[in-house]
Structure 1
């Protein structure tokens, strides 16, 4: 796997907003340093999570799970790079625990890039089990890319400075031409 990494940036992609942010960042970084991007989605069979008495149609086969993983990864790559540029990112679907697959795939690469979501308490970064394992086990630098904060929805009440005395929105002053 190290020989396939070479001059590349490996990105863990699970379809989340955080992983899409990581993929965007990696694509920009790769353009700047003339490297390749390898988007990796690690998946594990979920058949054991179903009760043995669950009906067969409920239990997806390994081939169906692999196909779904490939669809998800292709969709993520297309969202980030667009339909025409999706070839600039190589998509790899690998079976196995992400905490093991990602560091192994990144061996020999320039970077391993993962997304992270903001922590719910005190704005601290959140590292999940996969992120912690990758930071601990990777033989290359690991970059954790935060999700861009979503803009707050417009509030019904505008700030005081933006309202006139009668409650109507204040008009924005027009620039005065110099001269």
Structure 2
């Protein structure tokens, strides 16, 4: 993934979870306030599916476009770019942060991996991000299930 270094950019990782949706909202606000481009990344691990890569990418692309269109109206942020990238999420997001002003990611407060900020992505981006980092933690706190 090649990014142009002289463009102002806010990067957000989105996987469809409530926390990544919160991260998307925060990133869109930040990009608007900073007069920056919004780069929305969906990172897919290469071995996570038995579906052919092209089919999986097309399915994820449609899902990502629909999700972003529903959550970030074009009128709210007209300079949004969507990308689907294969790799390890933490590594891909950290690499994307090299030419960004801000990286926004979502995280659960508790994880099956024992990490207090959820999963294996947050520790990698905390260590390797080359810009300011915002972590949107557990959006389910205080919500009752019906």
Question: By the TM > 0.5 criterion, same fold?
Answer: yes
Partner of 1:167: none
Q: CA deviation at 1:111?
A: 0.9
Give the Cα–Cα distance (whole angstroms) in 1 for the partners of residues 10 and 53 of structure 2: 28
After TM superposition, what 4+ stretches of structure 1 lie above 3 angstroms from structure 2?
82-88, 147-154
Q: Mind listing any 5+ residue stretches in structure 1 that lack a counterpart?
A: 50-58, 155-179
The partner residue of 2:52 within 45, 57, 61 is: 61
Question: Following superposition of structure 1 onto structure 2, how do residues 64-75 of structure 1 map, counting pairs within 5 Å?
Answer: 64-75=55-66
State the secondary structure of the residue aligned to 1:3.
coil
CA RMSD of aligned residues (A): 2.6
Q: CA deviation at 1:79?
A: 2.4
Partner of 2:37: 36
State the TM-score, normalizing by the size of structure 1. 0.68
Partner of 1:133: 124
Do 2:44 and 2:85's aligned partners in 1 also have CA atoms closer than 8 Å?
yes
Q: Which has the larger radius of gyration?
A: 1
Q: CA deviation at 1:25?
A: 0.5
The partner residue of 1:103 within 86, 94, 104 is: 94
Deviations 1:134-153 (A, max 9, x none): 11111112110124335336
CA spacing shift, 1:139–1:46, aligned 2, 3 Å: same
- Aligned positions, number: 141
**Per residue, is there more helix in 1 or in 2?**
1
Do 1:45 and 1:65's aligned partners in 2 also have CA atoms closer than 8 Å?
no
